[in-house]
Amino acid sequence: MAAKPRSIRIGRAHIQVLVYVTVCIAVFLLPSFIDNDFLLNRIARYLVLSILAMALALSWGYAGILNLGQALSFGLGSYCMAMALKLRTVPVHTGAEGLPDFMVWNNIETLPLFWQPFYSLTFAIIAGLLVPALCAAVLGWFMFRGRITGVYVAIITLAALVVGNLLIIDQQPYTGGFNGITDLAQLELFGFEFDAYSSSTYYLVASGLSISLLTALAITRSKTGLILQAIRDQENRVRFFGYDVAAYQNFAFSVSAAIAGLAGMLYTVVMEFASPTFLGVPLSLAVVIWVAVGGRQSLLGAMLGAILVAGMQGALSESETFLDTWTLIMGAMFVLVVLFLPKGLAGLVDIVRDRIAGARGRPVDDEESAGDGAAAKTAGAAQ
């Protein structure tokens, strides 16, 4: 099959960037049409979850790493932000700069050493990004250097999530246990105060979403992104070309964790608390469903899948009509999408494009149509 002219590839890349930028602008313009603080807060919550889904799409859809423990990074980021905001409250029992209430209830007399750096909000934000990334890098080093792939990666990451969740719950004097960390102060950054139900918080989330989306897009459009896709399709072939496959896999795994940590921090600002449910198995599996529905090989598809599914879940579960059947409806939707749209809702774009090309009598010359290994060949040629 003849290769596509370079001008066509560049044109499609520009269109893709334009679409992503347009979506980001639309997200920023949305509050102009909404005059309801509660609804704005809910949409901000869905946008945060879409960042989490996009992070999984980066590792799963582009690098072939199914991380069933994605919620671990999300929860770590959430707790980093919650610890900083908790230290900005005035405790009822001990007064200003005293101990958090749950520590007093558990007879803790001095602030633990690992809590003290969180008096600095800058430290908390950096920790919210780096702690999940470092945890992922350490775990990834053992997995990918050991050439562990496929379902075994999924099992290991799920086990890591369960361990993290149990640690948070078990260390109640330091983490709040089942209750989590509540009664948080509002985030103040660069002179702005971010009330959870204000437009300022929405714009903070929109900024986080735009930065994450465009950064992830830049990675996927780079040579590194091409190699990651080649590893996903033909890992051994890429290794034969001389690339350090484990290093690339660990990079994608760690960047995905950092983005999930950012989502966790924003979620704490929007929800005004941190909970061990943020590190729970149900949330982690829900993210996989969002990405599968939206399209795991599309950052935008995963983002829209999270908004669609989480939005439908919220609407159906609050409706008296679907109160007992909303889980059945959501399950049926997931099964139908997986059966008839293997590439998720984002695959509809390819279907429409192929049919238009067929109607015009043009051959379908997409790189993906060349079959698995197309990216590996391109990566080898780029070496």
270 contacts 46 by C-beta, under 8 angstroms? no
pLDDT at 108: 86
pLDDT at 374: 52
DSSP structure class, residue 120: S
For residue 60, pLDDT beyond 90: yes
Q: Which amino acid is at 326?
A: W
- Mean pLDDT of the chain, nearest integer: 87
CA 155 remoteness from chain centre: 19
Q: Say how far apart CA 40 and CA 30 lie, in whole Å.
A: 9
Q: Say how far apart CA 57 and CA 66 lie, in whole Å.
A: 9
Domain boundaries, the chain: 36-280
For residue 302, pLDDT beyond 90: yes
Confidence label for 94 from pLDDT (cuts 50, 70 and 90)? low
pLDDT (average), residues 156-167: 95
pLDDT at 299: 93
* H/E element, 189: strand 187-189
Q: Say how far apart CA 203 and CA 210 lie, in whole Å.
A: 10
Confidence label for 55 from pLDDT (cuts 50, 70 and 90)? very high
pLDDT at 343: 84
Q: Say how far apart CA 104 and CA 338 lie, in whole Å.
A: 50
For residue 43, pLDDT beyond 90: yes
259 contacts 243 by C-beta, under 8 angstroms? no
pLDDT tens, residue by residue, 221-270 = 999 999 999 999 988 999 999 999 999 999 999 999 999 999 999 999 99
Q: Which residue has the tokens 């102060």?
A: 185
Q: Which amino acid is at 20?
A: Y
pLDDT at 371: 44
With a pLDDT cut of 70, the percent of the chain lying above it is 89
pLDDT (average), residues 22-34: 92
pLDDT tens, residue by residue, 186-215 = 999 888 889 999 899 999 999 999 999 999
For residue 354, pLDDT beyond 60: yes
pLDDT at 222: 93
Q: Say how far apart CA 114 and CA 112 lie, in whole Å.
A: 6
Q: Let me know how long the chain is.
A: 383
For residue 378, pLDDT beyond 80: no
242 contacts 231 by C-beta, under 8 angstroms? no
Q: Return the higher-pLDDT residue of 314 and 132.
A: 132
Q: Is 368 helix (H, G, I), strand (E, B) or coil?
A: helix
295 contacts 62 by C-beta, under 8 angstroms? no
Q: Which of 358, 350, 376 is nearest to 295 (CA)?
A: 350
Q: Say how far apart CA 331 and CA 228 lie, in whole Å.
A: 31
pLDDT (average), residues 170-177: 91
Confidence label for 370 from pLDDT (cuts 50, 70 and 90)? very low
pTM for this prediction: 0.89
Q: Which residues in 311-324 are b (16+ Cβ under 10 Å) and which e? A: ebbeebeeeeebee
For residue 106, pLDDT beyond 60: yes
Q: Return the higher-pLDDT residue of 333 and 124.
A: 124
